[in-house]
Amino acid sequence: MNGVAGRGVLLTGASGGIGQCLALRLAEAGATVYAVGRRADALHALAARARPGAIRPVVADLATADGIDAVRRAVAAAPIPVSLLILGAADSRFGLFEHSSVVDVQAQVATNLVAPMLLVRALLPCLVRLPEAGVVGIGSTFGSLGYPGFAAYSASKFGLRGFLEALAREHADTPLRVQYLSPRATRTALNSVAVDAMNAELGVAVDDADLVAASLLEAIESGTRRRQLGWPERLFARLNGALPELVDRALAKQLPIVRRFARAAAPVVSDTALESRP
Ligand SMILES: NC(=O)c1ccc[n+]([C@@H]2O[C@H](COP(=O)([O-])OP(=O)(O)OC[C@H]3O[C@@H](n4cnc5c(N)ncnc54)[C@H](OP(=O)(O)O)[C@@H]3O)[C@@H](O)[C@H]2O)c1
């Protein structure tokens, strides 16, 4: 049974564009959502839009050990036991890799890969004791094909996909269900103005966040192991696995446009300032 009604769901990235829509849909479907984010105001405003008690804010910075521990404690104290963990928090910083700072690289890998791994590690002992439990990773098309301008983000999402694949195989003979579900480009604050403009020039389809949330909930309830949303992204994700040279050629044609937007978006700062940029 994969339905969410009556279950406790821990959702990271709940204050984000897709996360807010997914939290509301989970609540509407009868789940109690423990909604994780850094912005308390956004989480409380979200909770006020659902039936009382359906969305419960958990304020935590997942890029820190304290944040991971705060989530672990919230789950341990949860009145409705958490049996579904949805890993949706992410950080994305568009730009040429040569312009990225140490902080840019560390923040994306910490939020998109290390935090999900540490959260699963912290919560797995509770999850495996339950008769039905699930872990859902929100991936990306860029977790299946590395995209120029998104090197660290792509690396983190490839890592998340590999981690969850191994975890699923480790639990192939247990009731724990592990899913990896990938949206394509979606209209949210994750994408900067430069990324939105680049997508428009490249003719990249950009989905509505609530429609993505609806597809994610449907995929969660269907129990599907992996799903890439959108066409032709589904084709390209598969093609990149089997025949990456073909995708190399397609993306080489897009490279001048990506470079132009990435260079325009790059901050003009010294090496020292780059290291300390937040
Ligand atoms: N938008 C797209 O084009 C797109 C495409 C493919 C995949 N996705 C994936 O879909 C998921 C949701 O993305 P979105 O577009 O909804 O992003 P978003 O609107 O930018 O929201 C990002 C969420 O992650 C949270 N977050 C970021 N860093 C965090 C940290 N250190 N600790 C705790 N929470 C943190 C944010 O919380 P606070 O703001 O409260 O800190 C926010 O709730 C992500 O996994 C993303 O990779 C998005």
Kindly state if the Cβ of 183 falls inside 6 Å of ligand 1: yes
Task: Quote the crossing angle between the two packed helices 17-28 and 209-222, to the nearest 10°.
Answer: 50
Joined tokens for residue 89 = 């928090």
Quick one: pLDDT at residue 78?
96
Is the predicted pLDDT of residue 278 greater than 60, yes or no? no
DSSP code of 141? G
Ligand 1 centroid to residue 15 C-alpha, Å: 8
Q: Which of 108, 113, 190 to mutate to test the pocket of ligand 1 (most atoms within 8 A of CB)?
A: 190
Every domain of the chain and the residues it spans: 8-276
What mean pLDDT is predicted for residues 45-52? 98
The domain covering 8-276 belongs, at the CATH homologous superfamily level, to NAD(P)-binding Rossmann-like Domain (3.40.50.720)
CA 175 vs CA 2, 10, 131, 247: distances in Å: 11, 18, 7, 37
Residue nearest to atom 46 of ligand 1 (CA): 90
The atom of ligand 1 lying closest to the CA of 195 is 3
Task: Using the structure block, give the residue that is written with the tokens 């994750």.
Answer: 190
Is the predicted pLDDT of residue 142 greater than 50, yes or no? yes
What mean pLDDT is predicted for residues 50-71? 98
Is the predicted pLDDT of residue 12 greater than 60, yes or no? yes
pLDDT tens digits, one per residue of 86-96: 999 999 999 99
Q: Name residues whose C-beta falls within 8 Å of residue 66's C-beta, 6 or more positions apart in sequence.
A: 60
Ligand 1 centroid to residue 64 C-alpha, Å: 16
Residue 206 phi, psi dihedral angles, 5° rounding: -120, 120
**Half-sphere CA count of 139, side-chain side, radius 13 A:** 33
